[in-house]
Every structure is written in structure tokens, then in C-alpha cells.
Structure 1
Amino acid sequence: MNIKIKWKRRSFCSFFLAAAAASFLSGCTNTGRVMGKEIATTSEATPSLGKKELQPISLLSPGGDLLPRLKDVPEQKENPIPQYLRNGVEHPVVASLQQRLMDLGFMDNDEPTQYFGNVTEAAVKTYQRQNGLDQDGIVGAQTLESIMSPSAKYYAVSKGVAGDDILRIQTRLYELGYLANAAQVSGNFGDETEAAVKKLQEVNSLNIDGKVGRQTINLLYSEEIKPNLISYGEKSDVVLVSQQRLKALGYLLSEPDGAYGNDTVTAVKQFQARNDLVVDGYLGPSTRLALTSPDAQPNGMTLGEQGDSVTKVQQLLNQYGYLSSSNITGYYGEVTENAVKAFQSNNGLSADGSVGRNTLNKLTGSGVKSAGSSGKTGKGSSKKGGTVKGGSGVGGLLSVARSKVGRPYVWGSKGPNSFDCSGFIYWSLNQVGVRQSYLTSSGWRNVGKYTKISSFGSLQAGDIIVVSGHVGIVAGGGKVIDASSSNGRVVERSLSSWWRNNFICGWRIFG
């Protein structure tokens, strides 16, 4: 039932008593709506009123009723509504507050909860900053009235603002080449940041106002964003130096020529995937810095991988007679592994079946011995699927995920002691031998590496579930494990109707 409550000035308590009324009306297993927004109810809510006729809710006023006079509805004495919502409070009305903050762009999308934790507090402070309120992170009457107002404004920042959210925006602008150097990532929105935002908006055909609002913030993490840095088609000494390093690390399968073509894009993506970077194929500042680092991880393809780099290796193996053309699939299965072993054995390399720096350098170098000189060719199944080498399947993934329950939610964190939702997936998969690069929740919509699950009812334990703005690991038994912004920590919780209603797809990692 959609309950509209008209009000101009009333006490903080009045609002939440109205919220409680909406909860009564909705029953214990459904959702109600407060100020036109859905709120989740819990099993502790009062029983459903069924189809009984309800009296309309009267307007709230200082001298009027605080709750509608509903028959058969017990007073809420055991769990009174707090006068203020602050860090540490747990109450059903927190869910409606979180949902509103998510709708306005101040919190990452997640299933709302009853818990008011660090993430909720930070979102409230950001809202207060934007709206000229005291930044105490406490929801009193003034803050509540502003947040729940129909005229409340979506998250937006502009020159003159400072905070952790500005730091995150600047970090992304730097990664995309719109800020020139790391020193400009300061947490203060000044002239340089404004100029960078305007350039981003110009390149990406947005309204050029220098402000980061709904469209701009969504674009920053979109796969469609156009960067302001070295990309496909360019030719320069910077590209040449990067290619030489990619070649030395075993990522580039062609000769460095200074031109940023398909081979370079493929090599950059593979390097980013191996070195905990956002996989976008661009030579951004962090990618170039990682390339020159002594800690840069060399390439190494193994059983279970898939992608353009695997295709390139298979083509080279085919060229020298170790793999038939019908097995150039882009998937590193047993056929490819056996072909690699044969190539390694015939060319004086350790026959471990993985394609590392030495194997790649030999494949792309001179003096290669073909399969005809030894008669060895790859044999075996090329079927995709099965347990990833080095992994321990669904049970291992769930065990690893559960070991981090209770660890704090921190935006952008990839573990091992704190996580955001996508960082939690990245860390957990890699712990059980699944070589998965870091992807945002948006990136998980089209990962394409695993079996796609299009029906919510077909999800199984161990699947990755992708919902609007969020990802988790299906735990089986109607549960999901995820790094939850609304809970402020990693949790194992019910795979509720919220997940079904926001479901986009799933990915089957094993089997």
C-alpha cells in the first residue's frame, strides 16, 4: 500500500512513527512504502492485517494523533523508535533511510538493512555537507526532513568541496588521463579538477558544467567512457617503451613498433588482469607505473583461462604444428596444455604446460623447433568447464568467502582485511585458483568468461550473482555472501526478494 503523508513541520519522532505505521500496514513478509519509498520489513514486525479495512492516516500535527487508529494493531512498546539515528543504532526504520540515500546516490546500491554503521554515517555526512547541514553523521529532525523531502537533490559536487568522495573521483579522473599527475589527487575539488571534469564531459558528449552529478558519476565507472590518454591507433615513443616492457614480461606476442594496435591492447589487458588493475586496455598512469615497477607480475597462462591472449598462443602453436586449427578456440583446455608441453619439451624448456615469459619469448622468437621434428602434438579434451587448475571448487570458494564474514566494507578495497562488493569477489576467486581480474559491479554484467545464468531460479551455490550496482556469491540454501555497504561489513544473509527484483545475471564459475 502506498501511504502518502503530507507534512510541513513535525517532530522527528512523528516521522518514524509514521514509518512504523507503514510497516504495520505492509505485514511481516512484504514491503511497505514510506514517503513513496519501499522499506524492507523483518520477521520481528507485527502480523499482517490481512484484508481488513483500514482507516485512512490522518495528517500529523503537534496536537494530533501520531499513529492512525488501526484495529488489532498492538502498540510498538518493545522496540521504540530512537529520537536520533546514529552509528551503532539498529532499528527497522534505518532501512528506509538507507534506501533513500541509495536512491539519491550517496550510498552504493545494496539491500537495505536495519543497521546504522560506518558506511551509512559517511553517506549522511556527505549529504549534510552538500545541503549545508552540520556534518555530524547523526540523523535528527532537520537532516531527516531534508533527506526525505521530495525535492531532495541527487549527489553532486563542484569546485570548493573537499572529502573522501572527491578523492575517489580524482583517482578515477587520474586513471583516465584527465588529471595530469598524482599530486592533483588531493581530496580538494579545485580549478584543476573542475577543468578535468569539463574535459571529460566534452569528450563524452555530456553537458559541460564542471560538476560531478548523476550522469557524470555514472559515466566515470561505465564501460562506455572515453579516456583522455594513449589508446588504439596512436603511435609514439611512449607506446614503444611500453611495448618493449610488455614483451619482456611475456605479454606482447608481436614485435614492438610504437603503434598501439590490437596486439598491444590485448597485451595491456592481460597485464592489467595479472597486476590488480582495472582492465580497460588503456595505458593510463597506473598501468604505466605498474609496468616499470620491479614488482610487475610476468605473464603466465594456465588451464582454464580464456581470451584473446590464449587465441594468439594457440595460433602460434598451430603455426609450428603443435595444435590443430580446430582447437584455436580462445580457451586454454587440456588440448592446449598438452600442445604447450610438447612445444616446451621439444624446445629445451621445462614442460609444465603453462605459458610464461620464457615460453612466450621462445614462441615469438627465432629458431623454433616445429612439431614435425619430434612428432609430438597436443591431445586431449578441449571441452570448456570443469574445476580450474589450482582451485578447490565450490566448497573451497564458499569456505574462503565465509572466512571473511565480519570484515569491514571499504569502498575500493580488494582485501584481505577489508572489501567492497567487487573487491570481495575478486579476492575470493583468486584465493581458490580462479585467475580473475578485478572488475567493478558494472563490469560483471558482461564478463563473458564463464557460463551465464539468465534465470534467478537457476542459481546454484558458488555462482556469482550480479544485481543492479552490486555483486555477491551464492552460498546455497537461499543464502548469499557479500561485502555489504548497508551492513558495513561482509555478511552471509538471505537471498531475499530484493536480490530477485534487482537481478541482472549470474555466472557459473565451476562446472
Structure 2
Amino acid sequence: MNIKIIWRKRVIRSFFLAATATTFLSACTSTETSTNKSSATPSTATVSEAKKEYQPIARLLPGEVLLPKLNGVPDLKENPIPEYLRNGVEHPVVASLQERLMKLGFMDNDEPTQFFGNVTEAAIKVYQRQNGLAQDGIVGPETFTSIMSPAAKYYAVAKGVCGDDITRIQTRLYELGYLADAAQVNGTFGDETEVAVRKLQEVNGLNIDGKVGRQTINLLYSEEIKPNLVSYGEKSDVVLASQKRLKELGYLMTEADGAYGNDTVTAVKQFQARNDLVVDGYLGPSTRVALNSREAQPNGMTLGEQGDSVTNVQKLLNKYGYLASSNVTGYYGELTVNAVKAFQSNNGLSADGSVGKDTLNKLSGSGVKSAGSKSNTGKGGSGNSSGPVKGGSGVNGLLSIARSKLGKPYVWGSKGPGSFDCSGFIYWSLNQVGVRQSYLTSAGWRSVGKYTKISSFGDLRAGDIVVVSGHVGIVAGGGNVIDASSSHGRVVERSLSNWWRNNFICGWRIFG
């Protein structure tokens, strides 16, 4: 939809009316003069001349080459475009405005709507800031023309810029160890932030310009990001202290030795997932602060969870004879619950079937009582340790959790529980249902790999994660999808429309 033509249409129509009036007056004046001279009714020839003068103007009417038909936009007589587009306005032109903002990187990609809400207003303000326009969040002719211009600039920030988007960027730089001090997260892109961005670009093989454009912003939340902090392979007292705390909270299943190996990475990821942090496996500043906080949440595994941490628990249960090796699947099913109950009962713990810090510390400590000759190998349980979960987990659990957040506001970069962006909504929902998935951008979801890939849009079913260009959602069944929508400005359940089909990249089947 070429909305620039719509705006021009109003100007041309005004010109047309003025020109028509001038021509008509000219014709009348000519006729009146003739009448005064002859004191008679104007001749047929005079009227014909006036008609000839009118004909060239008539060629500017809609439908001619200069004003092509605008599909999908109601006639201006019925639904005229407001002179200014602002928060609260609902009009077809808003959809085209959103579509352009998404393409330029100022809004998360999404199916455009006709409603001009808070997210659209915030995107307009950032665009205006970047382009030296008055930051009022209102789209008048100047802002509209700038956005729709082929020369419009893509989202990029550099030194000297201030705003909430800068705070989000700085927060991630701090978490990754590129900014050394929490006080540097201040919403102002200064010298220290520029140095941090340049270092990040250098370490990760990007063009080193100190600016945050599309490439850098996508990298910030991808699994491929290389941090500037304590990570795999290092050995230090910092690692040792962190391991001891992870052990105390029930996350680390091996002895603390100061070496940052696979077990520590798994423990850190599990801790991050439990404590609403970005799940990247790195001991960044935010993770270390949360780890040593009184509010740090201890570990706990229950029916329906899956991942490396579950695998490690199952291996220990197998080691002591409570679970068959064939049931070490990484999925916390009913057989695992039964095995945990047997272990707890035999080792003086409350037999609730869940793995909290006491159970985990006992399981990974010394003096463990094995199953011995007892029939506690998991053969007596029902269900399948690698199948979907019943009763509040699996597909039904995921959809229930997702629907519980309907109406929550969309906030770029937010991971819940009170607000979300599209990928933050997927991250939060999966982790709540027991699927330990790290935070990924929509680009990261293209190649996540560990689930069953769905390559055909027609094969999607309820509970699948649907990935489209720049956006992700949860298939709800019945032709619907649940997602954190930037164009709606909130979490919505809506039709899995042709927009999703036309922008489809892949799907991921989490359950079954």
C-alpha cells in the first residue's frame, strides 16, 4: 500500500478543487462579459468553450495515472486520513506506518494493525530522535514523509544518544561483562558505552564502529554471543566461590573445584532459568549478584521438566540403582518421579518426588543408600519418561500459561512476568512449563536445533513455536496463535493469518 500517495491525494484534490473553481469562475466571467456585450443568453458555442476549458482538469480525477486506485483504503469521503496520526487513532494508514517502522528496525516485526498505540508512539519518538525531528510521538506530514522516504535510515544508535533503548543495550553489555560497573547503565550512550560496544564487536567479529545497528542488536541476545567475563574453561577463586554457592542452592551436582566445566555451565543455566535471568551459562555481574543474594531461588525439579540438569539427576539415580539406564532421557517423567520418591524414602527425606536442594545435595553427596535388592528401579511406575506431561504441563500447560498473560503490555527486550517482547514471551512461557530454554531473539529461533523442526506451515499444530521473519509466537490450535504483539502493544491471541503464512520460516515442536 503506497500511503504516500494517499497524503499527496489530499493536496492534489485541494488543488483540483481550487483549479476547478478558478476555471468555473473564468468561464462564468467570460460568459458574463459576452452577455453584457450582447444582452442575450450565452450561445451554445460559448458553453462549449467553457466545457473545453474544464476537460483538462477532469483528467486528474481518481482512477487516472496520477492517482492510482489504493487497494484496502476506504474512500476518503467515508474515512478521511487524520491530519495528524497520534496515540489512540485507528485507521488503515497506521498499518502501513507500522510496517515501515518494522522494516527500518524501530518496531519488532509483527502483523501490522490499524491501531496507533503506545508501542507505535514509542517507535515514532525513537525515529524522530534519530532523524532530528521534534520527539512528540505524533506523525504529521514531515515525520510521515521522512519515514516513508526511500532514504529513511535504519535504527542505529551511537555516542550522544539517550533513551530507554540505550538502557536496555547497556544492561546487556553489563551482563556480558563489557561494561564493568552497574552505574554505567544510565541511559546515556557515552564514551564508556562506545568502548564497550567496540570491544563487543571486536570479540565477536563484527565491523568495529562503536555503533549499535541491526547486526549488533541481534547479536546481543543470541546464543552465539561471546562474553567478556568468567566462562567455560577458566579456573579461579571466583569460580570456586560461585560453585560452592551453586552447590548450597542445589544446582551443582559435582564437587566444587574452581574449574568452569560442563557441570558448572549446566548449573549456572539452571540457576539463571530459576531466577529470571538471561540463560547463557556465563557468570556475569548480574548472575553473580543474584547468586549471592538472599532472594536467590534454590533448585527444584518436578514432573515435566527436561534438559541437562534432569539428565544429571537421572544418571545419579541410575548409579545408585533407582532408575534404569534406558530411562536416562533428560525428561522428568513419571518413572523419574517414582525413582526420586524411592531414593528419598530410602535416604530419610520427604518422599514428594521432586528434586529440591536437600534431595540434590544428598544425591550428589556421600553416604548415599543405594536401592540394593529393593524393587525400586523405576519398573513399577506408569507412563513414559520421554513422553509429554499430563495435567498442567506439556501442550495444555504451555497454552494455559501463555493465555494467563493475555493483555500484558509489550515492551521491547522484556522477559516477563509483567511485560514481554515476542521472544521474551516464548522464553518465559517455556521456562514456566519446565522447558529450560535460553533467551533467543527471533533470529536465534531460526536455528535453535534441539527440537523437532517443522518445515511446512500446514504441519503446525497446537503447542508449536512458529517462527516468521522477525517474530515468534505459540500456535494455539483452532487457527490461532498467542504472541506478544508490538502492533497491538500487548499479548494477544489472534488468527494465524496469511501474514504468518507469507512470512513463515519454520516451526519447532517442543512436545511429542
TM-score (norm 1): 0.82
CA deviations on 1:298-334 (whole Å, 9 max, x unpaired) are 1112222222112212222222222222222222222
The Cα shift of 1:176 comes to: 0.8
Change in Cα spacing, 1:100 to 1:179, as seen in structure 2 (3 Å) is: same
- CA contact under 8 A between 2:427 and 2:440: conserved in structure 1? no
- CA contact under 8 A between 1:416 and 1:427: conserved in structure 2? yes
- CA contact under 8 A between 1:122 and 1:137: conserved in structure 2? yes
CA deviations on 1:69-127 (whole Å, 9 max, x unpaired) are 37999943211112221111111111111111111111111111111111111111111
1:17-96 superposed matches below 5 A: 65=60, 67-69=62-64, 75-96=75-96
Corresponding residue number in structure 2 for 1:440: 440
CA deviations on 1:433-477 (whole Å, 9 max, x unpaired) are 445556334354455665543322122234332223322232333
1:241-260 superposed matches below 5 A: 241-260=241-260
1:503 equivalent to 2:497? Answer no
The Cα shift of 1:266 comes to: 0.8
Change in Cα spacing, 1:157 to 1:416, as seen in structure 2 (3 Å) is: closer
Describe the SS at the equivalent of 1:192.
Answer: helix
1:283-302 superposed matches below 5 A: 283-302=283-302
Describe the SS at the equivalent of 1:506.
Answer: strand
- CA contact under 8 A between 1:246 and 1:268: conserved in structure 2? yes
Describe the SS at the equivalent of 1:475.
Answer: strand
Q: Could you tell me how far apart the structure 1 residues matched to 2:234 and 2:79 are?
A: 64
1:13 equivalent to 2:7? Answer yes
Change in Cα spacing, 1:17 to 1:88, as seen in structure 2 (3 Å) is: farther
TM-score (norm 2): 0.82
The Cα shift of 1:180 comes to: 0.5
Q: Judge which range, 180-189 or 293-302, deviates more.
A: 293-302
The Cα shift of 1:396 comes to: 5.8
- CA contact under 8 A between 2:412 and 2:420: conserved in structure 1? yes
The Cα shift of 1:374 comes to: 3.6
Q: Could you tell me how far apart the structure 2 residues matched to 1:214 and 1:66 are?
A: 43
1:22-421 superposed matches below 5 A: 65=60, 67-69=62-64, 75-372=75-372, 374-379=374-379, 380=381, 381-388=383-390, 391=392, 397-398=398-399, 401-421=402-422
1:473 equivalent to 2:474? Answer yes
The Cα shift of 1:193 comes to: 0.3
Change in Cα spacing, 1:247 to 1:486, as seen in structure 2 (3 Å) is: same
The Cα shift of 1:198 comes to: 0.7
- CA contact under 8 A between 1:277 and 1:437: conserved in structure 2? no
Q: Could you tell me how far apart the structure 2 residues matched to 1:411 and 1:72 are?
A: 32
CA deviations on 1:267-319 (whole Å, 9 max, x unpaired) are 11111111111111100111111101111111112222222112212222222
Corresponding residue number in structure 2 for 1:460: 461
CA deviations on 1:319-353 (whole Å, 9 max, x unpaired) are 22222222222222222222222221211112222
- CA contact under 8 A between 2:94 and 2:115: conserved in structure 1? yes
Q: Could you tell me how far apart the structure 2 residues matched to 1:341 and 1:446 are?
A: 37
Change in Cα spacing, 1:346 to 1:483, as seen in structure 2 (3 Å) is: same
Q: Could you tell me how far apart the structure 1 residues matched to 2:417 and 2:324 are?
A: 42
- CA contact under 8 A between 1:17 and 1:66: conserved in structure 2? no
Change in Cα spacing, 1:203 to 1:395, as seen in structure 2 (3 Å) is: closer
Q: Could you tell me how far apart the structure 2 residues matched to 1:314 and 1:392 are?
A: 20
Q: Could you tell me how far apart the structure 1 residues matched to 2:429 and 2:419 are?
A: 12
Q: Could you tell me how far apart the structure 2 residues matched to 1:283 and 1:494 are?
A: 41
Change in Cα spacing, 1:75 to 1:276, as seen in structure 2 (3 Å) is: closer
Q: Could you tell me how far apart the structure 2 residues matched to 1:133 and 1:64 are?
A: 37
Q: Could you tell me how far apart the structure 1 residues matched to 2:329 and 2:69 are?
A: 67
Describe the SS at the equivalent of 2:355.
Answer: coil
Change in Cα spacing, 1:257 to 1:404, as seen in structure 2 (3 Å) is: closer
Describe the SS at the equivalent of 1:147.
Answer: helix
Describe the SS at the equivalent of 1:371.
Answer: coil
1:417-428 superposed matches below 5 A: 417-428=418-429
Corresponding residue number in structure 1 for 2:489: 488
- CA contact under 8 A between 1:178 and 1:227: conserved in structure 2? yes
Describe the SS at the equivalent of 2:286.
Answer: helix
Change in Cα spacing, 1:64 to 1:113, as seen in structure 2 (3 Å) is: farther
Describe the SS at the equivalent of 1:505.
Answer: strand
AA of the residue aligned to 1:420: D
Unpaired runs of at least 5, structure 2:
13-56
AA of the residue aligned to 1:384: S
Counting aligned pairs with the same residue, the percent is 79
Q: Judge which range, 221-230 or 460-469, deviates more.
A: 460-469
Q: Could you tell me how far apart the structure 1 residues matched to 2:69 and 2:264 are?
A: 71
Describe the SS at the equivalent of 1:215.
Answer: helix
Q: Could you tell me how far apart the structure 2 residues matched to 1:384 and 1:375 are?
A: 21
Describe the SS at the equivalent of 2:7.
Answer: helix
The Cα shift of 1:373 comes to: 5.2
Change in Cα spacing, 1:15 to 1:107, as seen in structure 2 (3 Å) is: farther
Q: Could you tell me how far apart the structure 2 residues matched to 1:15 and 1:153 are?
A: 25
- CA contact under 8 A between 1:13 and 1:83: conserved in structure 2? no
Change in Cα spacing, 1:397 to 1:334, as seen in structure 2 (3 Å) is: closer
- CA contact under 8 A between 1:12 and 1:141: conserved in structure 2? no
Unpaired runs of at least 5, structure 1:
19-61
CA deviations on 1:239-266 (whole Å, 9 max, x unpaired) are 1110000001111111111111111111
Q: Could you tell me how far apart the structure 1 residues matched to 2:78 and 2:359 are?
A: 69
Change in Cα spacing, 1:11 to 1:71, as seen in structure 2 (3 Å) is: closer
RMSD of the alignment, in Å? Answer: 2.9
The Cα shift of 1:209 comes to: 1.4
The Cα shift of 1:426 comes to: 4.5
Q: Judge which range, 284-293 or 328-337, deviates more.
A: 328-337
Q: Could you tell me how far apart the structure 1 residues matched to 2:120 and 2:255 are?
A: 51
Q: Could you tell me how far apart the structure 1 residues matched to 2:131 and 2:139 are?
A: 13
Q: Could you tell me how far apart the structure 1 residues matched to 2:207 and 2:438 are?
A: 30
AA of the residue aligned to 1:81: I
Corresponding residue number in structure 2 for 1:42: none
Describe the SS at the equivalent of 2:372.
Answer: helix
